[in-house]
Every structure is written in structure tokens, then in C-alpha cells.
Structure 1
Amino acid sequence: MQDKQATERPEADTTMQLEGIHHVTCITGDAPGNVDFYTRILGLRLVKKTVNQDDPTVYHLFYADEQGSAGADITFFEYPGARGGRAGAGMVHSVAFRVASEDALDFWEERLTGEGIAVRREPGRLRLEDPEGLGLELAVSRVPDEPLVALHPEIPTDVALRGFDGVRAFSADPERSRRLLEEVLGFTPGGGADWEVRGAARGGLYGYDPPPAAAGVPGAGTVHHVAWASTMDEHEAWQRRVAGAGLRPTPVIDRFWFRSVYFREPSGVLFELATLGPGFAIDEDPEHLGESLILPPAFEHLRSQIEPVLTPLQDPRAAWAR
């Protein structure tokens, strides 16, 4: 039924553009280890320590650049002790970050191997997994987009991660998704099962690979969803456009720091459309992002119930002064 509905053609609107990747949300079973890897080792900044608004008994941790910008924001739900998952058909299997040069890859190859992390070097690319098996890539990229860089005492800014390059998913039949991606969402085909998503300021890549024989298993080390960035003014129009294509999106959901619309694309990957704002500084001093547990106003009355069940976490930058 969904495939049939997804072939309906909404009225063309070439004026609306998605601004690349907004964020990628994943699952972890180990928040302390997750914080250590993404902040100490990869050098991202913990920019928001909050809870999953659909299940406030678990963390939602956001890592990004120094300003907490969309386009650099990898996030995790923590389900303590969650079993390891496995990416399969209809799931994102790897997340790529940009770096500036092959020299940057040299730096990261040395840094990661020094931390006992296995890497695979290819021309213009370094492949690795996070401690729970999530596929990551560092890719040399020379696009004109603003570099989204976090500060770190051990990582020079010229070799630091610079925001997302793209994500790749598994699909047995990428053609099922082509019309949605190109005619509804405005992705630009790049050949085969690859696309670019580019707006006025930023872009990102999306592609499919053949799935493994084994079915996917959601769990620690897997991607929950990928979010594409929308301007605030166009967000409701995007929701109507996706609905007009028969994809049954959710209504616009106010997440306080941004607004969201969710739907599954025909290959099964969970997509979100998220707004560029209001942003993480709406309720925290930009100098102190991520240091304290922040609850959206609708959840603040639950703080006394929420805080005791969350895994204790230290501010990862507290040790810098020492």
C-alpha cells in the first residue's frame, strides 16, 4: 500500500530546499563510554544533555560543533545495558564526517590507533567503528559549506571534524525510494543509488548499499533515524508535501530546540525533517552547553522522578582545566 501511495506526485515546488543533514540519532547502551568516545577521542562537544521526549526515563545526548549547529549533531538515546544491534535492510549503517585533508586523515589514523581503535584507510577516507559497532567514516571534503568545528585541547582545528558528510543505508531495492527522494524531497541524483541534499547554505550525501543477508536488529551501535534540515518557514509545507505523496508523516512535533516531522521512506529508513532553530542556546548559556541536565519546559515538573533513574555523567570538559 505504501509503495503505491508513494508513487503519487505532489505538485512540484522547486523553491523549497532541505539544508542537508540536521542530525543523526543513534542508540547506546553505555552513556559514560559514549561520552568519552565522542568528546574525548573524536573531539565533539556535548551540547545538550537531556532526555528522550518519547521516553523521558532515558538520556538523549547531543554532540556537535562548538555552537551546537545542525549539520554536525550526532545524538544518542541511552538504554543502559542494551544489547548490541546490527544494521540491516531499511537501516542507516554508516555516518560520515568531513575532514579537510589527507593530512587530517594522517592525524586521525595515528590518534585512533593510539586509542586501540581499528581503522581502515582508503584514498580520501578513514573507516572505523565506535565502541558499540556503529560504522563511522572520516571523509576528505572540499565543499564550500562552513566548517562546523568543536574546540579540543588535543585536536588542532585544521584537522578537527567539520560536520556531516553524509549517511549510507541498506536497501534491497533503492528504486522504490527514488521518486520520493528526487521528486518529493528534492534530492539530486549523483549516479546509481547516491544522492546529494543541498540547500542555500549546506549540503550532505545519502546513498544505499545492498543489505547483508541477516535481518537488521535495532540496538546499541545502530542508527535510529536521520534528520534533514528545514527552515522554520517551510517546515509545515514540507509536512504537507510528504503527506501528499502518501507517506503518512506525523504532525509537526515541537521538540523545544527544533520542530520535527517523522516518516518512513519506501526503503524503510526512518526520516525526520527538523527545523533550523530555535537552537540549543535558547535555554542555556552558549559557554556552558551540555554541562547540566536540561529538560524541556513540558518535562521540568518530572525532574525529581527523572534524575534518579539516569546514569550519572560528568561534564566532559571539566577535566580540561586540570
Structure 2
Amino acid sequence: MKLEGIHHVTAICADAPRNVRFYAGTLGLRLVKRTVNQDDPTVYHLFYADEEGSAGADITFFEYPGTPRGSAGEGMVHTVIWRVGSPGSLDFWGERLEREGFTAERSGDVLSFHDPEGLRHELVVYDGGERPLVARAPDVPIEHALQGFHGVRAYASDPERSRPLLEEHLGFEPSGPQQWLVAGEDRSGFYAYDEPPDTPPVPGAGTVHHVAFASRPEDHGRWRERALAGGAAVTPIIDRHYFRSIYFREPSGVLFEIATLGPGFAVDEPPERLGERLSLPPRFEPLRGRLEQTLKPLPDPRAERTGKVRS
């Protein structure tokens, strides 16, 4: 039984329209689900991924309008790493980001940059055999499209506290100093720690809320048992409509989720129309009228960049 790499990464933003323009516009991802935070349905939960809405390429955001910018520190993920196909893709993204007003720094086969609210990303050249998870943005050549997650980096002052849970109970495989590979039959990703800054962590806009790892549905209950056996305080299994989830903090303080591969985002929208309208799990449908009046309208970067208005 193995976890299938990273399922998704969830972060916080303060401005949903700006967030959409960056992730679906600048980065060329597909907005595959516009819904609400199921623990606070008054705010957006936005999901971006490849064209199919695959786990492994899914970065999501809770929008809390006006929340101050945060800063990553002890017990928080600080960098999200994506795959691209070639050094030429790094050239493409460096030029594109700079053209759109974002500073990009190149170091060998790594390109780093921050989103509009300060969340740090890296692009790395990947030459392994896993299927690229790409979106079809109108102005991003398919050979340069982001190909899904490669890993995440977190801050921890004493990573050894986390080793027993990660290795003995969750099946993380050591792959470097304070770094582990999370690999299943189809997908892999890495999880790593760095020394934290001297400043305290400040959750807020531009920070990661949690990282989720992918479970086959039939294994989900056993992963809960394993996390419990490792001493984690694990939630019950929660039905998130698009997948099922458990949550717990690993010993270094990072909030983990283990989420199932499915049923997926097409349970309430046809695949060709993902993310075009507000989708609500059934228990929130009675709130639709009020939510549609209070949530901000969102732009459509794909239409804006092709000059087309989607009907």
C-alpha cells in the first residue's frame, strides 16, 4: 500500500479575481472547480489543475477577502515545486513571468518566483516517465505547460521528530538530507524540510494551509489507521464531495491531508464545463441564492487571452 504522491496543495488568498488571473492566466492552469470552503461556505474555494482536474496537479485556494499577507515559518510549507519538460520551458516561463510583471530567478535547471501574494514556487526540469498533467491554455505551448507537482518544501527546526511517522507509518522513503519520496504505482512527489527563519510563522494570504497526499479509495481507511498508530491526532473520514479526506498535523507541525483519488470534479459538472459556474455540494445548495449574490464575480482568463467570450 503506497500513497500516490501529492494529491493537492491548498493555500490562502485575499483576492480571488487576482488569484484566477495569475493561476489560470499567467500560469495557464485550468480553473476546474469554483466552489466554497466546506468549513466556511461564505468564502470561495478555488481549484486549479490540468485539463482533466487530476490529483497531482491541483493547487487550491481559500479566499479570505482583505486578509493580510502572511509569511511561512516553522511548521509550514513554504515552496511548491512543479515539473516542466525541458530547459527551454524554463526559458519560456522566465520570459513570460517577467513580461507579466513577476520577478523570476534562474539557477541551473530551477526557476523560482512568487505569486501576487508572495507564495513561492519553483519549476524544475523533469525527465522521468510519469504522465505529464498539463492544461491547454490558449497562449502556452503544450510543450512548455506545467506538468503537475514535483514536491513541496516545509520549514522544521527538528525534522527528526517527524521521521518515525513519515517512514514507519506513511511509507515515505528517504531520498536525501531531510527529504523523502512519496511514490505509488502511477505518481510520485517529494517532501522536504529546511531550517526555518528566525521570524515566527504568520498564516495569511500567500501561505500554504495544508498539503494533501493521494490515496487509492480502497486504502483510505487503512491510512487513517496507520496515522493513528503513528501517534497522529487524526480526524474522522470527511466526505468532501469530490474526494474523501482525513487530516492531522505531523510532528513538525505541518498540516497533512490524505485524500482519495476520486470520485473527482466531474461528479457535478460535465468535464468540458469544469469550473465555469459555482458548484455546491448538496448540503450547501440551499445557500446558492445568497452565495451567488455575495461572492465576487470571477474573470475568465482563457476567454480574455483569446478574445472570445464563452457562452
Would the TM-score normalized by the shorter structure come out above 0.5? yes
Q: In 1, distance between residues paired with 2:294 and 2:65? A: 10
- Look up the match of 2:5: 20
Q: Does 1:273 align with 2:258?
A: yes
- Look up the match of 1:78: 63
Q: TM-score, normalised by structure 2?
A: 0.97
- Look up the match of 1:11: none
Query: How far did residue 315 of structure 1 move?
Result: 3.2
- Look up the match of 2:116: 131
- Look up the match of 1:169: 154
Query: How far did residue 314 of structure 1 move?
Result: 2.9
The counterpart of 2:227, out of the listed 242, 258, 261, is 242
- Look up the match of 1:222: 207
1:202-221 pair list within 5 angstroms: 202-221=187-206
- Look up the match of 1:63: 48
- The amino acid of 2:236's aligned partner reads P
Deviations, residues 236-295 of structure 1 (Å, cap 9, x unaligned): 110111112220100000001000000000000000000000000111011110000000
Q: In 2, distance between residues paired with 1:64 and 1:142? A: 20
Deviations, residues 291-317 of structure 1 (Å, cap 9, x unaligned): 000001111111122222212213333
Q: Is the 8 A contact 2:214 2:260 kept in 1?
A: yes
The answer for unaligned runs of 5 or more in structure 1 is 1-15
- The amino acid of 2:251's aligned partner reads P
Instruction: Name the stretch that deviates more: 294-303 or 263-272.
Output: 294-303
2:121 is paired with a residue whose SS is: strand
RMSD over equivalenced CA pairs, Å? 0.9
Q: Is the 8 A contact 2:85 2:125 kept in 1?
A: yes
2:65 is paired with a residue whose SS is: coil
- Look up the match of 1:106: 91
Identical residues among aligned pairs (%): 62
- Look up the match of 1:309: 294
- Look up the match of 1:10: none
Q: In 2, distance between residues paired with 1:191 and 1:72? A: 24
The answer for unaligned runs of 5 or more in structure 2 is none
Q: Does 1:294 align with 2:256?
A: no
- Look up the match of 1:155: 140
Q: Does 1:261 align with 2:246?
A: yes
Q: Is the 8 A contact 2:31 2:274 kept in 1?
A: yes
The counterpart of 1:44, out of the listed 29, 35, 49, is 29
Q: TM-score, normalised by structure 1?
A: 0.94
Count of residue pairs brought into register by the alignment? 307
- The amino acid of 2:15's aligned partner reads D
Q: In 2, distance between residues paired with 1:141 and 1:317? A: 26
